[in-house]
Amino acid sequence: MSTDLTRRTLRWLFALPSLIIGLQATEPPALPAPTNPADIPVEYFFRSAAVAGAALNPAGTHVGMRVYDAKHDSYGLIFLNLASRAITGSRGDSTYNIFSFNWAGDDRVVFTVTHDVRFARGLYAMNRDDPKKITTLNEYEAVDVLGSPRSRPENLFVLVRQSWRHSHKPTGLFEIDLRKNFRNNFGDFGRNVVRSFNPPPGIDGVMHWWRDRQGEIAYLLAYHKGVRKLFRHETDDRWTAVQINVEHDAPMAIDSDPAVLLVGHRNGQGLRELRRFNTIDGSLGPVLHTDEKYDFSVGSIRFSTDDRDLSGLLYARQAPEQVWFRDEDAALQQTLDRLLPPERVNLITSRSRDGQRVLVVGSSDRHPGSLYLFDRGSKKLTQLADLAPWLPERLMAPVRLMTFQTRDGLKLDGYVTLPLSHQEGRPAPMVVLPHGGPWVRDVWGYDAQSQFFASRGYLVFRPNYRGSSGYDAAISQAPRMEFRTMHDDVTDGVHALIDAKIADPARIAILGSSFGGYLAMCGAAFEPGLYKCAVSIAGVFDWAEFMEEDRDLNSNTYRYEWFRRELGDPEKDREKFVAMSPLHSVAKIKVPVFVAHGKEDTNADTDQSRRLVKALKDAGVPYEALFIPGEAHGFAELKHRIDLYTRIEAFLKRNL
């Protein structure tokens, strides 16, 4: 394919000196400062963060960050010289958007570009001080940057997740030369491809690649017929299967010895233990960390500044938390917590090679976050940017943790956002907001949807129903496919808030996206009289059809085989699938329903919502529907998010 179009586009994006921007470009157009939460525009809640992905170069001399342009709904990329405070970089436009970037040494970055926020346009490289000179590394493919090997810093490992030349399927892992332009796509062995990695035979696909502490490819996680298997890289394309149960011993990272993994081992009580696992003899080392309630294996390992030694863990307890194993790191965390405002979660997001400079994001339930630079030598803390300077913290609503008991005696967590107008002892109208997944979880912190609804006077309840990740096995693992029971958990949490006279039983709505959209429709269909209306965004309502779509499209063979094994066979277990799929119970729905879906969704097929709308119409259920062209699983464009939540606000006002 000719590269002329992209070359012309990149010249337009990057060549003009007038496009160089500063942090002030993140500010929205001047509007009167709101004095009441209800006066805050819908846009302010759903606009992208002002800065994203901020990272120090290894030398700690420059900070790179993506900077949002609200006018064009796109991200540009800037570099801040910490010595001179000079800024270089470029702005995106309404068509092209910088999606991600990585430092590739002290002076150079690689970055990905998307078209209309959604469609991958390839991978590029440029020098921080000369953003006009672009090296084209790839075009028209969705890629992930894994990083450079220490011994070959001029090279880069790149994973092609989707290739337009191969029916949008992955084409594999490549090592490329950063100094060379490509000739064709990676899948066709472009001029800059140094080598490619062929996975072991007899597998259906690769889920994850791991690099060791030297930056070399060391392991991959593959799947075959819905079962995950781990392989160790030996030489060239030779792989050895590792005798490990990845459900029981979840691989998290590679230790300083490349033959040893750091794993989250599930003990006999269903709790995770951080231990070393020898992939050659299968032996387990002593316990390095454990948690009586939370599962850290869904978090990430932190290493020392030279990226060689185990330093700590980042995972969610009640809120995201960094657990440090080394005294020097714990002392640094204490210093940051003391310097920054109280009741903030302060996470170290980037460090220089020598550890003297760190970037920190401090956030809370009412504050989306601020970016800071801390110099350990001078002990100076400098605020670089607010992630949402247009949102007044004083008008945001507080979030409280609640614990409730289910009908079968399980204790679960939930988060309640209290509107500023809330009065103790006076039940308030409530929006129930079950998360998607279902194998993710909500945490204490800022949540845009919750704050939006709270600003309109609604109490917001976010339950971590069973199957939500991050807890012990009794909550997160054993019941992870009990979809109807997850619905019961949401119902039990709602009744707990009613019984506590916090929620007004006559004014409750349920709203969710993806799996949360499924739970929203379960609430409407299976809990007559509990909800006054329901909103479903990109939901699934017929699980047998969902699995059939996966099989027919051959788009996600792992998901299909795994669902078939874990959830059941739709043909053999037809009664079970009918009972848990609200599409088969539309006649029971007696409340208004709002349905929204992107027309290009390949994760939860849009036909799920179309069939639901038809069934609602046939059953005489009042409904509203919104199908957005060009959008996939979610709403990527700001104008579509504004339209969606403006409509939802009006829908709730009419029905609550």
Domain check: are 445 and 547 in the same one?
no
486 and 536 belong to one structural domain: yes
Q: Would the pLDDT of 654 be above 50? A: yes
Report how far residue 415's alpha carbon sits from residue 280's, in angstroms, rounded to the nearest whole number.
Answer: 44
Percent of the residues in the chain that have a pLDDT greater than 90, as a whole number: 78
- 438 cis-preceded (ω within 30 degrees of 0): yes
Please indicate, yes or no, whether residues 548 and 531 belong to a single structural domain of this protein: no
Mean pLDDT of 34-43: 94
Residue 155 lies in a domain: no
pLDDT at 6 over 70: no
CATH of the domain at 99: 2.40.128
148 within domain boundaries: no
If asked whether residues 547 and 529 sit together in one domain, one would say: no
Q: Are residues 482 and 558 in the same domain?
A: no
Q: Which residue has the higher pLDDT, 308 or 346?
A: 346
Q: Same domain for 553 and 410?
A: no
CATH number of the domain encompassing residue 450: 3.40.50.1820
Please indicate, yes or no, whether residues 423 and 515 belong to a single structural domain of this protein. Answer: yes
Is residue 567, in this structure, part of any structural domain at all? yes
- Number of compact structural domains in the chain: 3
pLDDT for 114-151, tens place per residue? Answer: 887 667 788 999 999 888 888 889 887 888 999 999 99
Rounded to the nearest angstrom, the gap between the alpha carbon of residue 373 and the centroid of all alpha carbons in its chain is 24
| Predicted pLDDT of residue 190 | 66
In a shared domain, residues 470 and 384: no
pLDDT digits (tens, 9 = 90+) for 394-429: 999 999 999 999 999 999 999 999 999 999 999 999
- The whole-number average pLDDT for the span 51-75 is 95
Instruction: Give residue 11's identity as a one-letter amino acid code.
Output: R
Same domain, residue pair 441 and 550 = no
Q: Is the pLDDT of residue 466 over 60?
A: yes
Q: Is residue 284 situated within a structural domain?
A: no
Distance CA 275, CA 260 (A): 10
Is residue 135 in some structural domain?
yes
Q: Is the domain of 415 the same as that of 458?
A: yes
Domain that residue 54 falls in: 1-139+349-388
Task: Please check the confidence at residue 17 and state whether its pLDDT lies above 50.
Answer: no
The reply to whether 74 falls in a domain is yes
Residue 575 lies in a domain: yes
Same domain assignment for residues 369 and 408: no
Same domain membership, residue 375 and residue 506: no
Which of 329, 358, 388 corresponds to the end of one domain? Answer: 388
Helix pair angle (557-566, 543-553), 10° resolution: 140
Residue 316 belongs to some domain of the structure: no
Q: 517, 551, 580: which is the final residue of a domain?
A: 580
* Contact partners, residue 234, CB within 8 Å, separation at least 6: 240
Provide, rounded to the nearest whole percent, the portion of the chain with pLDDT above 70. 91
Point out the domain boundary residue: 580, 601, 631: 580
Two structure tokens written together for 163: 């290739």
Contact present, 324 and 339 (Cβ < 8 Å)? no
